[in-house]
Amino acid sequence: MSLSDDSENEWSVLARSYEDNLRPRFKDLYNSIANIVVKQVELQEKNKSKILDYGTGPGEPILTILESLQANKLFNVDLYGTDSSLKMLSIAEDRLNKSNNKQLNIQLFPLNLSVSSDTYDIITMSLVLPYASSKEEMLRERFNQLNLNGVLVSSHWYRYDQVPFLTTIKAVLNYMASETHLDLSTLEFDSSYSCWPEKQTRDDFEKVGFTIQQWNVLSLHMSFPNIRGFLNFCDMCSWFNNETLYAKAEKEAKRILENDFHTQFASDGSFELLNTVIIVVASKSS
């Protein structure tokens, strides 16, 4: 696969930051999704299962699934990964080429390549749904791509007050743009926290025909060496390398973490944030 430049794609711009800052901290989430996939492959007992990781980014979800399938000696699987960012796919391709995979067929392709209906037995999405312009349309597309009795495994952030890392980043960005402290309660129905309210989310899945089999709550621990390590999520921002502006951002981040999330800082400045992720397992039933 040859991937051309797509430097104007926003996810391609964020590819390096995502790879350095987010991917390592999402490992427990990817492991949880991979474990669910392994169980689904074992349950389906097909001669050959087809799995799509939709929004695979730099490849961590599909690599983790690959490793879990190999560890469980499940080789009756074809793996596919897709993403809107060619830069992300390029990173994923490099990592897959370096993996010790000799048994499983894996293909990566850009998101704009059409895929026919009734194609996959399992589709996974790791924190993809919050960024869809239409949640219903994305769910309907995944529903159509699944074979009958196929399964969608989709993860989402929960309430804003249970995702301190994302909520604090949003509040800091707001402060640096407007110099006003964000009332966090205004994030109550922000689309980033797309599994809240729970009833609405369940209704969204059922509206397009899914039957929810599992509603799993995962506690995702994130450790940071200091505030700067935390604000590395914002290293693309113009203020990040400006000493005066950065100091303002760091002060605001610490204020939010201490006042709103009661974060405890160690003597060396390190701290840990506990975030809640929901993993929905939904089936396409007759």
pLDDT, tens digit (0-9, with 9 covering 90-100), for 174-190? 999 999 999 999 998 88
Q: Which residue has the higher pLDDT, 64 or 236?
A: 64
Name the pLDDT band for 112 (thresholds 50, 70, 90).
Answer: confident
3 state SS of 117: coil
How far is residue 55's CA from residue 14's CA, in Å, rounded to a whole number? 14
* Model confidence band, residue 95 (pLDDT cutoffs 50, 70, 90): confident
DSSP state of 153: E
Region 15-40: mean pLDDT is: 84
Q: Is the pLDDT of residue 1 over 60?
A: no
Structure tokens at 95: 């990592």
Cα distances from 66 to residues 20, 33, 96, 133, 285, in angstroms, run 21, 12, 10, 30, 26
How long a stretch of residues is the chain? 286
Q: What pLDDT, on the 0 to 100 scale, is given for residue 12?
A: 43
pLDDT mean over 206-235? 95
CB atoms within 10 A of CB 198: 12
- For residue 18, the model assigns a pLDDT of 61
14-18, 204-208, 254-258: segment of lowest average pLDDT: 14-18
Mean pLDDT, the chain, integer: 89
- Label residue 206 by pLDDT band (50, 70, 90): very high
Q: What is the mean pLDDT of residues 42-71?
A: 91
Query: Could you tell me the two tokens for 148?
Result: 């009958």
Q: How many Cα atoms are found within 13 Å in the side-chain-facing hemisphere of 217?
A: 9
Give yes or no for a contact between 253 and 172, defined as CB atoms under 8 angstroms apart.
yes
Please give the model's pTM, rounded to 2 decimal places. Answer: 0.89
User: Averaged over 238-252, what is the pLDDT?
Assistant: 97
Q: How far is CA 161 from CA 20, 90, 101, 122, 226, in A?
A: 25, 35, 40, 31, 21
